[in-house]
Amino acid sequence: MKRELNIFEEGISPVKVMFMLAWPTIIEQFLMSAVMYVDTAMVGALGADASAAVGLNSSTTWLINGICGALGVGFSVLVGRNIGGGDHEKAKKIVRQALMAMLVFGAAISAILFCISGYLPGWLGADESLRNDAASYLSIIAFIYLFNVPNAISGAIVRCAGDTRTPMFSNLTANILNVGLNFLFIFPTRDISLFIKIPFTETVLIDTSFTMWGAGWGIRGAAFASVISMAVSATIMLITLFVKDYPARISLKDKYKFDGGVWKEMLTLAYPVALERMALSGGQIVVTSMVTGLGTKVLAAHYLAITAESITYMPVFGFSTAATTLVAQTLGAERRDLAKRFSNYCLYYGMVFMTLMGVVLYVFAEPLLAIMSNDPEVITLGSRVLRIEAFAQTMFAAANVTSGILRGAGDTKWSFYIGLVGMWGVRIGVAYLLAYVFDLGLIGAWYAMFLDLTMRGILSLIRFYRGKWLYAWRTPGEGNANKKGILKIHDGGKL
């Protein structure tokens, strides 16, 4: 059952509102992490070299994904503000401009990445044995951005309009497809035995063998599977913009004309986020280059540990997304009291949940690595660095949820400053010092990561509690408490 929820209604529990927005994103992140595990495990079955070849490109794709995310922030926060302020026509105009941006940026990013795919592994200092596979993988994965850009921007818009379930469904569909295509594309044709017995009995339900077709494309198969599944997800999200019953729904019959005013507003919000992601991802590329110099197995352990760490991102992205939506809509209606109230809850619950996830990361470090690799050396080294990172999760949550709050408020520059200080002022220098000068290798690089995330969390909390973000975005006429912030919540009944 669909219900319109007015977040300004007296008596509405802010905790319930927050969880109604956060839980679909948390589930979505869980599904994405699970599929990433399966995907990485399938590639890992090909050996440490295959994992390293894919991992070599990961920091570059993070950089590009960050730019896509910045565009999503710019358009979605504007949509959320105007929905909160009751100007639905302006919100629709922004969505139409976003649709034009998806096509332009998607094509441009794919073209650039394809053109540099043959050179990037060498620029990153990869071993000669890895360069061909890494370049081949990247030349295919480049085309994912024809779809990833529309998926990222439209998903951010729909979430900021209050619908976090549709992106969850879209990603679930794409992830299931990705696993199935990986199974077919990565491995060659082989014989498979299937045996299923009822536990604690002698009854056999299935005992059969059959030949399963496989393309045998290796890591190139994983790239093809990712592109196809992302195309499906993007298609779902684009259709949503036209058919979903929400305040900013657009139509093919609308007039699509470039609006410089909207783009100026969008870029004002987006460019600090893009600079932040570039600073962070650029730093990760530098760190990856350092790690690459430590050997193939060390690079594989680094990549697999980062993949394992992704399981802890589930709660923080949920609460960060909820914070962006709620802050954008409440400040759009000039209700700073509600913006501060919602933000406090998002930050508190985000830090609590991430602390628990840190415990999970520490206790289950080895099993998490063993899912993705059968190399004892890789598992041992990867589990050691994961246990270092486990202690940074609380401050990591503080930084990420606060970043979501600041994005919703339009105070995006401070997240860039904080990220710049943490990554370039702390992580890179300390990583080189510990890894090479003190000869701690990958352990030293991850100690540097711990210090970086901890400092970012502390600086983010200082910015949050000073409260200046509440006044980062001003509109004429204060105190319009009569404005409606409507979230479409498909809760099947009462909230």
* pLDDT (tens digit per residue) in 78-88: 998 888 788 88
Distance CA 330, CA 346 (A): 14
Out of 91-105, 200-214, 431-445, which region has the weakest mean confidence (pLDDT)?
200-214
Q: Please give the average per-residue pLDDT across 68-73, as a whole number.
A: 88
Q: Is pLDDT above 90 for 491?
A: no
**What would the two tokens of residue 133 be?**
């596979």
pLDDT of residue 104: 93
Q: Which residues pair with residue 241 across a beta bridge?
A: none
Residue 295 has pLDDT above 70, yes or no: yes
Residue 482 has pLDDT above 50, yes or no: no
| pLDDT of 34 | 66
pLDDT confidence bin for 492, thresholds 50/70/90: very low
The CA–CA distances, whole Å, from 32 to 179, 325, 479 equal 11, 21, 40
Nearest partner of 377 among 100, 48, 111, judged by Cα: 48
Q: What mean pLDDT is predicted for residues 115-131? A: 84
pLDDT-based confidence at residue 200 (cuts at 50, 70, 90) = low
pLDDT at 487: 52
Q: How many whole angstroms separate alpha carbon 5 and alpha carbon 14?
A: 12
3-state secondary structure of 213: strand
pLDDT tens string 375-418: 889 999 999 999 999 999 999 999 999 999 998 898 888 888 99
Contacts of residue 53, Cβ cutoff 8 Å, sequence gap at least 6 = 126, 130, 133, 134, 137, 219
Most confident region among 114-128, 191-205, 303-317, 473-487 by mean pLDDT: 114-128
Q: How far apart are CA 399 and CA 449, in angstroms?
A: 14
**What is the SS3 assignment for 486?**
strand
In this predicted model, which residue has the larger pLDDT, 69 or 381? Answer: 381
Query: Does residue 476 register a pLDDT over 50?
Result: no
Tokens 């962070």 label which residue? 280
CA gap 240, 219 in Å, rounded: 32
Q: Which two tokens stand for residue 5?
A: 């929820």
Tokens, residue 2:
């669909």
Out of 35-39, 128-132, 343-347, 429-433, pick the least confident.
35-39
**Average of per-residue pLDDT values in the chain:** 85
3-class state of residue 6 by DSSP: strand
The per-residue pLDDT for range 269-291, each reduced to its tens digit, is 888 888 888 888 788 888 888 98
Alpha-carbon 84 to chain mean position: 25
Residue 214 three-state SS: strand
Q: Comparing 490 with 139, which gets the higher pLDDT?
A: 139
What's the full length of the chain, in residues? 495
Pick the closest to residue 4 from 339, 323, 246 (CA basis). 246
Predicted local distance difference test score (pLDDT) of residue 8:
62
- pLDDT score at 303: 81
Q: How far apart are the C-alpha atoms of 152 and 134, rounded to whole Å?
A: 25
Max avg pLDDT among 99-108, 197-206, 327-336, 471-480: 99-108
Tokens encoding 43: 């590639």
Q: Which residue in 479, 463, 160 sits closest to 326, CA to CA?
A: 160
Cβ pair 230, 148 in contact under 8 A: yes
CA distance linking residue 230 with residue 463, whole number of Å: 36
pLDDT of residue 474 exceeding 60: no
Give the other-Cβ count within 10 Å of 15's Cβ. 13
Percent of the chain residues past pLDDT 70, beyond the cut = 91
- Residue 488 predicted with pLDDT over 60: no
Q: How far from chain centre, in Å, is Cα 291?
A: 23
Output the pLDDT for position 493. Answer: 33
CA atoms of 417 and 19, how far apart (whole Å): 30
pLDDT > 80? residue 267: yes
- Which of the four pLDDT bands, split at 50, 70 and 90, describes residue 234? very high
pLDDT surpassing 90 at residue 225? yes
* pLDDT of 37 above 90: no
DSSP 60-83: HHHHHHHHHHHHHHHHHHHHHHHH
**What pTM value is reported for the model?**
0.74
Contact residues for 72 (Cβ-Cβ < 8 A; gap 6+): 152, 153, 155, 156, 157
pLDDT category at 1 given cuts 50, 70, 90 is very low
Residue 494 confidence (pLDDT):
33
The pLDDT of residue 206: 79
The pLDDT value given to residue 139? 93
- Report the alpha-carbon distance of residue 122 to residue 154 in Å, rounded: 35
pLDDT of 4 strictly over 70? no
* Cα atoms in the 13 Å half-sphere on the side-chain side of 285: 18
